Amino acid sequence: MLEALRQMTKSWIMKVILGLLALTFVVFFGASDFGSGGFSGRQANTVVEVEKVSYSLNQVSKEFNKQIQYLTRASGGQINLQSPIATTILKETVSNIVTRSLFDAAAMELGVSASDVSIQETVHNLKLFQNEDGIFDAVKFSSYLQQRGLSEEEFIFGAKEDLKRAQYLGTLQDSLTISKPVLDAIFNHRFEKRIAEITAINIKDVKGNFNPSENQLRAFYNEFKNDFRSPEYRKIKIAILTIEELSKTISVNEEEISKNYQDRIDDFIIKEKREIIQSIFLTESDAKNARTLINKGKTFYEASKQITGLPPVSIGKVNKDNISEKKLAETAFSLDLDTVSSPIETPLGWNLILVKSIEPEKTQTLAHVREPLRRAISMMKARDEIYNIQNFVEDDLAAGLSIEEVSKENGMTLLELEHFDSRGLKRDEQLIKINPIGQIVEAAFTTNKDELSDIREIADGGFFVIKTISIDPSKIEPFNLITHKVSDSWLKREKQRAAFKKAKEISNIVSNGKTLKEVSIKHGLKYEAKNVFYRTGSETPVPGPFIAAIFKAKVGDTVYVETYDGARVGKLTGIEKAGKTSEDKQKREDLNIALLDSMNRDLTNQLAAALKKRYTIDVNHELIESSLIPQ
């Protein structure tokens, strides 16, 4: 099996499988608890069942919550569980569970299996866990497990299931090929190079007599009136209360701080840390041989290098809980300083570890943490208190109190914001200085004049209410008030026209025998002798329309194109077919893999659709959504 796997890693199929596994580790390992996978047979609280393998509401909830957490970290913002986004994530979570289970059922029916050795080899081949030299990095692996709260056993269990699934899909992908004529045609088209010399005519460099009369400006204004329409502006009053501001008004006495410190004393213990050096061997014999070399006087580095060809790696300074493999943790924290352990077996091989340094456990004093504790207690009290205040505000609004009265009665901050548009920009094009700006602007533009909005909660747990004081509707601004804007727009258009006219003239001159270089120099324009273009772009920033024109041209042709900043003139000087250099060969291989991967995805989607008809699927969508999405 191991040798077969090694051979497979040289093929595109295994590269796709490894890519699939890497993606699976990110998506599913970050969202699943492998110790609590589907159970054979129906459970009392089953909400998903695929071919007699069932998943409870709790299991679906765990996957959903971890997916929410993962996406929250990735996006940097909170996901409202009542939003359509959360509903979509939940549906995708359930769909992923069903699809995985379908492939698992099909793999099981075919008797597909995965050994510990094959898992070890596969994990070592994942770029996710390799250093810059392509070598398995135990630090990256350990950090990955720690970030996702997985033990090594849970990881290996999940990896086995994923590898069986990937091998099953791999059997179907064997038949996929791209014929040489098709690959040649796509490769030659995509990687053909065009060589051209270019002259840029930028509107800021266009010279001339641009002094419009008032009649010209008025005619321009009348032709493009809608370009001079001002946005709608709104002026509001806002009463806002944040957790942070409320916490500043809450007192915390010494007794509370002291009691909180004692109640949370474990939180202030800085656990013992040790710097661990680790080396992983494929067999127990290799690990013992390395240990023997160390006993005979070799250093840990020398022994590891001699046996594995690789140096040991540092896990870094960690505490016991950071090491997911229990046997490694126990050994690492029982060794003396500068002592090498005996061989330790884990699912990824045989390990030797060395303790390089030890930082003893210590407890932070009350004096050291008093101020952070005081702030934490006041914030905690504020979070509790703000719900009461919000209820009082609701009652006051229902009673018809003004926003000024509501603010004063409940200790809120009252602000008046000058007119701003739907982007939060004031008339001077500066953003209003308040957060959360997006929510406040949205509230302002959905509340009628002289009305109060409903209570809007903000991310930190605070809330606000707004009153729209006035609305200045969108309108075409009078010519006399925006003469300078009209003049600027007219000037930009005229310079754009002049740049394009100049480009056309230069193109005609070059077509009649002059070189682009001498014409460019004569007119004081920027000239570039050689630019290389692919259909997808160029080595230097050039607008897309110019690239399109170059690829329509024949060698010797001159083209000119209007661009957002003026115009470009170019002369095609050469065409280079996709070559046979080592770089081109790599591009061809990458293209082949990409095309096969695309075909594979289509095939996998079709397979999943077919398996849905073959195996029984029962999903209680109503119970899942009603239980996990707040109504």
Q: What is the mean pLDDT of the chain?
A: 83
Give DSSP secondary structure letters for 543-583.
-HHHHHHHHHSPTT-EEEEEETTEEEEEEEEEEE----SHH
Output the pLDDT for position 125.
Answer: 78
The answer, yes or no, to whether residue 43 has pLDDT greater than 70, is no
pLDDT digits (tens, 9 = 90+) for 530-583: 888 888 776 667 788 888 898 999 999 999 999 888 999 999 999 988 877 777
Task: Note whether residue 265 is domain-resident.
Answer: no
pLDDT digits (tens, 9 = 90+) for 345-386: 887 789 999 999 999 999 989 998 889 889 888 988 998 899
Output the pLDDT for position 18.
Answer: 37
The answer on 454 and 374 residing in a single domain is yes
- Quick check: helix, strand or coil at residue 61? helix
pLDDT digits (tens, 9 = 90+) for 266-311: 878 888 999 999 998 889 999 999 999 999 999 999 999 999 888 8
- Provide the greatest CA pair distance for the chain: 99
The answer on 395 and 328 residing in a single domain is no
- Rounded to 5°, the CA angle 162-165-171 comes to 140
The answer on 247 and 134 residing in a single domain is no
Give CA–CA dist 329/319, Å, rounded. 9
Q: What is the DSSP letter of 267?
A: G
Spell out the alpha helix ranges (H) of 174-212.
180-191
pLDDT digits (tens, 9 = 90+) for 593-620: 888 888 888 888 888 889 999 999 999 9
Q: Which two tokens stand for residue 554?
A: 């024949």
Lowest-confidence pick of 29-38, 81-90, 204-213: 29-38
Output the pLDDT for position 41.
Answer: 53
Q: Domain containing 82 — which CATH number?
A: 1.10.4030.10
- When pLDDT is averaged across residues 376-397 and rounded to a whole number, the result is 91
Task: Note whether residue 135 is domain-resident.
Answer: yes
Spell out the alpha helix ranges (H) of 279-365.
284-295, 300-308, 326-332
- When pLDDT is averaged across residues 470-488 and rounded to a whole number, the result is 93
The β-bridge partners of 363 are 269
Give CA–CA dist 189/181, Å, rounded. 12
Give DSSP secondary structure letters for 121-181.
HHHHH-GGGB-TTS-B-HHHHHHHHHHHT--HHHHHHHHHHHHHHHHHHHHHHTT----HH
Task: Name the residue type at position 368.
Answer: H
Last residue of a domain, one of 304, 336, 360: 360
Which residues, including other chains, have CB under 8 Å from residue 573's CB and lie 6 or more apart?
A: 195, 196, 197, 530, 555, 556
Give CA–CA dist 76/468, Å, rounded. 31
Q: Total domain count for the chain? A: 4
Cβ-contact 272, 320 below 8 angstroms: yes
Last residue of a domain, one of 300, 326, 360: 360
Structural domain range at position 203? 193-228+482-576
Task: Note whether residue 283 is domain-resident.
Answer: yes
Task: Note whether residue 52 is domain-resident.
Answer: yes
Task: Note whether residue 182 is domain-resident.
Answer: no
Q: What is the DSSP letter of 584?
A: H
Q: Domain containing 302 — which CATH number?
A: 3.10.50.40
Cβ-contact 87, 128 below 8 angstroms: no
Output the pLDDT for position 7.
Answer: 38
Output the pLDDT for position 10.
Answer: 36
pTM (predicted TM-score): 0.49
Q: Domain containing 198 — which CATH number?
A: 3.10.50
3-state helix, strand, coil in the chain (%, to 5): 55, 20, 25
Which residue is it, tokens 């008004």?
Answer: 249
Count CB atoms within 10 A of the CB of residue 100.
20
Which residues, including other chains, have CB under 8 Å from residue 508's CB and lie 6 or more apart?
A: none
Q: Label the pairing between strands 413-420 and 233-241.
A: antiparallel
